[in-house]
Amino acid sequence: MHRAVPFAITFVTACVLICAALVPPVESIREEFTLFFDILAAFAFLLGGASLLGQHAAKIHRQAKGWAYSAVCLVSFLTTLVLGLLKTGGEGGLGGSVTGEGTVLAWIYEYVLGPCGATIMSLLAFYVASASFRAFRVRTVEATVMLVTAFVVLVGRTFLGGLISAWLPPSLEWLGIANGVQWIMSVPITAGNRAIMIGVALGIISTSLKVMLGIDRTYLGEDA
């Protein structure tokens, strides 16, 4: 019974949502389900926050390795939570917007999270460059094509692309690196992205069918 009830709920919900997407008269049901999903997401946020507090508090209590980072995480989490709930600094008090102009939370997002995100992305650039060096080693024809394409795109995105193609006459401007980069971005890369999205869509459909038909029951727990 503990398996049959969740499976029945999953199957019925999936059938209703499929009908809501394909049958116009019952399309409004999808909006009702969206409301329930938002409610479930709110409870999930509460559980996630409680789990975050429990895990890091236990790590700090045990003085485990890296407990200082856990302390920073908890202080940042609680500070942001309190400032957001109280809507500190905003107009209208508790009835105002949590991210409105002048709120402390908006200031944190703009001047703390934004620079931190930019810093992380700048560090990732070095890892991407290292991974690209290993991936673009010329060993096969495919690797050679990738290397040449990446080099053309990188050069074309900088000022060097314009300087290299500046000597071309107007009748041969279509041979410029900038135009070549534009063609690469518009045709081959777009085709590749579409192929990837089609593969992702097929994967989502197959996974959804496995869950809907009870073939994949991992969501029921380890003992399912």
pLDDT in tens, 36-91: 888 988 899 999 999 999 999 999 999 888 899 999 999 999 988 888 888 777 67
Cβ atoms within 10 A of the Cβ of 134, count? Answer: 7
Instruction: Tell which wins on pLDDT, 25 or 40.
Output: 40
Q: Is 138 exposed, middle or buried (0-12, 13-18, 19+ CB in 10 A)?
A: exposed
pLDDT in tens, 98-125: 666 778 888 888 888 889 888 988 888 7
pTM to 2 decimal places: 0.57
CA distance 156 to 182: 9
- Does 223 score more than 60 pLDDT? no
pLDDT in tens, 171-220: 776 777 778 888 888 888 899 999 999 999 999 999 988 888 888 777 77
What's the DSSP call for residue 26?
G
What's the DSSP call for residue 133?
H
Closest-CA residue to 32 (of 24, 23, 20): 20
What's the DSSP call for residue 168?
S
